[in-house]
């Protein structure tokens, strides 16, 4: 039996940080501006509309997080790290591009899965490739919308044009990471 390898260190996250503070400041400023410009009636109309959107989105986000949690249970960390980790090379980027093509669902699914992969030791470049491939190629969108309306030729040409973009995005991120890591060493 293979000896257990040490798990990749998880990045510690703060509960509250500067990007969150900036986002809250922008939201509060925008809300105050709407209240000042359009009055209380419009302000509360916007608040209720946003609350409706939140109530509609919450089950979708929870389902996406549940799927991501199941992915972390089904896929061993060392396998994810080996296939799409920092040392996976071009193979990891190609695997991520292929996975991005076949992952179904919308943003409520892909972003929690991408976060789960990062937490399991996947390389940032591989996750960027996954999301770019899902965004630009996405088989579920092609099968449901593009193929019936635009035909096979269109889908084939779009895929041939878009696949290099996803791979290129991953390679660019990997090169930038390598540059930063090399610059950080004395």
Mean model confidence pLDDT for the chain: 89
Contact partners, residue 7, CB within 8 Å, separation at least 6: 77, 78, 121
What's the pLDDT at 63?
A: 92
- Axis crossing angle, helix 89-102 with helix 152-184, rounded to the nearest 10: 140
Place of tokens 């389902």: 63
The pTM of the full predicted model, rounded to 2 decimals, is 0.77
Domain ranges of the chain: 16-74, 76-184
What's the pLDDT at 10?
A: 64
pLDDT in tens, 18-74: 888 999 999 999 999 999 999 999 999 999 999 999 999 999 999 999 999 998 899
pLDDT in tens, 138-149: 998 899 999 999
- Axis crossing angle, helix 18-74 with helix 107-119, rounded to the nearest 10: 80
If 0-12 CB within 10 Å is exposed, 13-18 middle and 19+ buried, where does residue 138 land? Answer: buried
The residue among 118, 129, 117 whose CA lies nearest residue 93 is 129
Place of tokens 């359009």: 38
């Amino acid at each position: 039996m293979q000896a257990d390898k040490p798990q990749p260190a998880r990045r510690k996250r703060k509960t509250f940080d500067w990007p969150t503070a900036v986002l809250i400041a922008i939201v509060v400023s925008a809300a105050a501006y709407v209240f000042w410009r359009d009055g209380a009636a419009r302000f509360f109309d916007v608040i209720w509309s946003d609350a409706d959107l939140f109530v509609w989105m919450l089950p979708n986000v929870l389902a996406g997080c549940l799927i991501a949690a199941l992915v972390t249970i089904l896929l061993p960390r060392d396998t994810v790290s080996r296939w799409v980790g920092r040392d996976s090379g071009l193979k990891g980027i190609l695997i991520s591009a292929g996975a991005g093509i076949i992952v179904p669902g919308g943003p409520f699914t892909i972003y929690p899965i991408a976060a789960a992969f990062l937490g399991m030791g996947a390389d940032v470049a591989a996750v960027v490739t996954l999301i770019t491939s899902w965004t630009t190629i996405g088989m579920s969108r092609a099968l449901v919308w593009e193929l019936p309306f635009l035909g096979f030729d269109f889908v084939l040409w779009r895929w041939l044009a878009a696949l290099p973009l996803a791979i290129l995005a991953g390679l660019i991120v990997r090169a930038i990471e390598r540059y930063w890591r090399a610059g950080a060493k004395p």
